[in-house]
Amino acid sequence: MSKRKLKENSGANGECISQVQKILRERFCHSYATGKPFGTEQQHRHLLELLKRTTVHGESNSALIIGARGSGKTALLNHVLKELKEIKQVRENLLEVHLNGLLQTTDKAALKEITRQLQLENVVGDKVFGSFAENLAFLLEALRKGDRTSSCPVLFILDEFDLFVHHKNQTLLYNLFDVSQSAQTPVTVIGLTCRQDILELLEKRVKSRFSHRQIHLMNSFNFKQYIKIFKEQLSLPAEFPDESFAQKWNNNVQHLSEDKTVQDVLQSLFHYTKELRSLQLLLMLAVSNVTVHHPLIAASDLHEASKQYRMDSKANIVHGLSVLEICLIIAMKHLNDVYEGEPFNFQMVYNEFQKFIQRKAHCMYNYEKPVVMKAFEHLVQLELVKPLERPSVRAQREYLLMRLLLDNNQIMDALQVYPNCPTDVKQWAASSLSWL
């Protein structure tokens, strides 16, 4: 085997690797659903039937899709819409209006958006004219003109539905639901929300007009299916150019899914969150380790990624602190222990630190007070320490009441991995009484 051949081989490999990276990254980041969502067959059917009836029979409806964040509400809806649009009769018969509670923060903005998306007559270009009152009257007039059999059905999709509830008088919701309950243009209002108590937020008149159809998404798949999703997410598609490489890659993925460490990693993630997005994030970290010299994902990659993924953010900050700052944090920890979580001020921390310096520490330099103050303020800026109230001009900084935003466990964990930590500091951290 000559060197050149090896090089060629690696070149071809490199091509493959970059292809793999591209495909997988696209899949993870754009997060378009690769397969059918798991465990939502019933909800899927319900929603599909509902929308089909709207478009085919012109029946007005309203429904809410409720589920925790990342439970696939939007994915379900998109799936259903995609499926619906494959029917010709539906495709040509449906007007969609997409609203998002985060974008349309007032009814005025929402009305303009609706008028724009429906392309009604008072739209010029992309702008909508007229005052709020006119727009409302206009839209209601437009909707009133239609009737069940002749008008094109309109599908209103309200993302972040719970935010629309906070609009003044819930005017928009009232009107949409009212239209859906009267013999006007057929409309279907679909709300997407993660709040379980959404019905309690609706005003009584609005609630009465809402049909009370709720589609709950529970993320009710088990670990076996989770492994399946894992495989599906990582596998290369059949149309990958280099077939042999794809074969190899997919076999490797199959092996991985049976590997004990990988299963452990996935299990712990599964216990923590079922969201598809977090799985994708984990895989993203693992996939970015793939290079020409390391063409296939190993179990260790996933383990490493999971470690990275589960890192505690505040403890991470502690790693980068100076010894003096660590000492201050330890002093605060002791104060917390002694006073049972009561707030403290800089002077108390400084006194505690002084005690340590005077009695125990041999390797620590006795810093002057302003220097310690500076270190303390750095901690405040990192938000490891938080003042109870806003610092006012009158109050002296030394006596401002503070709270530590770290738990004892976090501090001890961080100290374990802190590089070159002086031993007496470590001892001091372990016990506040040992030096007495």
Partner 1 sequence: MNTRQKSKIIYSWYGKPTSSDRKLRTLQYKGILIVSERSRTETCIQLGEFILVEGENADQPFVAQLLDLYEDGAQQKRAVVQWFSHITEIPQNKRKLLKREVFPGEVFFDQVSGYDTDIAVETIIKSVVVTPLRLGEELPIKFENEKSFYVKQSWDGKCFKPLSPDTFSKLKAANKKGSGIPNSSNSFISSDLTSPLKQETERVVRSATKRVELEIESKHSASKSSLAKERHSQRMANGIKTPTARKKLQLNSPTRSPKTRLLGCEVLELLDDDCDTVAPLESSATKRKVKFTGILGSPPKIPRAKDKSKSVFDTAENWCSDTMQLSPYNKVKDCSEKPENLKRKYDSIPLTEDQQLSIQSLVLTPRSRRTCVQKTSARIAEQISVLNALNQEDNSLSSSDSSYSSSSEEEDDDDDVLCTPEKETKSSRTFSTPKSSRRSSVQTPAKTLKKTPLPATPKTPRNATPEIPRRNHAAQKPASVLEEARLRLHVSAVPESLPCREEEFQDIYNFVESKLIDGTGGCMYISGVPGTGKTATVHEVIRSLQQAAENDDLPSFQCVEINGMKLTDPHQAYVQILELLTGQKVTATHAAELLAKLFSTPGPKRKTTVLIVDELDLLWTRKQNVMYNLFDWPTQKHSKLIILAIANTMDLPERIMMNRVASRLGLTRMSFQPYTFKQLQQIISSRLNSIKAFEEDAIQLVSRKVAALSGDARRCLDICRRATEICELAGQKRTPEIVRMTHITEAIDEMFSSPYIKAIRSVLLHEQIFLKAILAEFRRAGVEEATVQQVYHQHVALCRIEGTQSPTISELMGICSRLGACRLLLVESSNKYIHMRVRLNISQDDVMYALKDE
Q: Which residues within the stretch 337-376 sit at the binding site for partner 1 (CB under 8 A)? A: 341
Report how many residues bind partner 1 under the rule CB under 8 A.
Answer: 94
Q: Which of 1, 30, 102, 197 binds partner 1 (CB under 8 A)?
A: 197
Query: What is the helix (H) or strand (E) element at residue 285, kind and residue range?
Result: helix 276-287
Residue 191's DSSP bridge partners are: 64, 158
Instruction: Give residues with Cβ within 8 angstroms of 195, minimum separation 6.
Output: 66, 162, 201
Nearer to partner 1, 19 or 181 (CB): 181
Nearer to partner 1, 8 or 383 (CB): 383
| Piece in contact with partner 1 (CB under 8 A), picked from 130-138, 287-295, 353-361, 422-430 | 130-138
Nearer to partner 1, 268 or 366 (CB): 268
107 near partner 1, rule: CB under 8 A: yes
Integer angstrom CA distances of residue 163 from 102, 158, 188, 202, 209: 7, 10, 19, 11, 18
* Cβ count near 365 (within 10 Å): 10
Tell the smallest beta-carbon distance from residue 390 to partner 1 (Å): 13
Residue 71: name the closest of 205, 260, 218 by CA. Answer: 218
Residue 356 CA to residue 432 CA, distance in Å, equals 9
Instruction: Provide Rg for the chain, Cα atoms.
Output: 30
Tell the smallest beta-carbon distance from residue 89 to partner 1 (Å): 5
Q: Which two tokens stand for residue 205?
A: 């008149």
Tell the smallest beta-carbon distance from residue 82 to partner 1 (Å): 20
Instruction: Give residues with Cβ within 8 angstroms of 374, minimum separation 6.
Output: none
Query: What is the helix (H) or strand (E) element at residue 64, kind and residue range?
Result: strand 61-67
Q: Which of 4, 30, 102, 125 binds partner 1 (CB under 8 A)?
A: 125
261 near partner 1, rule: CB under 8 A: no
Residue 430 CA to residue 420 CA, distance in Å, equals 16
Pairing outcome for strands 123-124 and 127-128 = antiparallel
Q: Which of 8, 26, 41, 141 binds partner 1 (CB under 8 A)?
A: 141
User: In the block, which residue shows the tokens 């310690």?
Assistant: 372
Contacts of partner 1 in 212-231 (CB under 8 A): 212-214, 216, 218-220
Nearer to partner 1, 208 or 288 (CB): 208
| Piece in contact with partner 1 (CB under 8 A), picked from 20-28, 168-176, 228-236, 322-330 | 168-176
**Under 8 Å between Cβ of 217 and 66:** yes
User: Interface mask (CB under 8 A) for partner 1, residues 51-70, using x and -?
Assistant: -----xxxxx-----x-xx-
Tell the smallest beta-carbon distance from residue 358 to partner 1 (Å): 31
Residue type, 184: Q
Nearer to partner 1, 35 or 125 (CB): 125
Residue 66, SS3?
A: strand
Q: Which of 4, 30, 204, 362 binds partner 1 (CB under 8 A)?
A: 204
Nearer to partner 1, 2 or 149 (CB): 149
Nearer to partner 1, 249 or 418 (CB): 418
Q: Which of 24, 256, 406, 429 binds partner 1 (CB under 8 A)?
A: 406
Contacts of partner 1 in 147-166 (CB under 8 A): 148-154
**Under 8 Å between Cβ of 213 and 50:** yes
**Under 8 Å between Cβ of 38 and 223:** no
**Under 8 Å between Cβ of 402 and 344:** yes
195 near partner 1, rule: CB under 8 A: yes
| Piece in contact with partner 1 (CB under 8 A), picked from 204-212, 296-304, 349-357, 417-425 | 204-212
Tell the smallest beta-carbon distance from residue 276 to partner 1 (Å): 14
Residue 329: name the closest of 376, 365, 368 by CA. Answer: 376
311 near partner 1, rule: CB under 8 A: yes
Tell the smallest beta-carbon distance from residue 258 to partner 1 (Å): 22
Tell the smallest beta-carbon distance from residue 246 to partner 1 (Å): 34
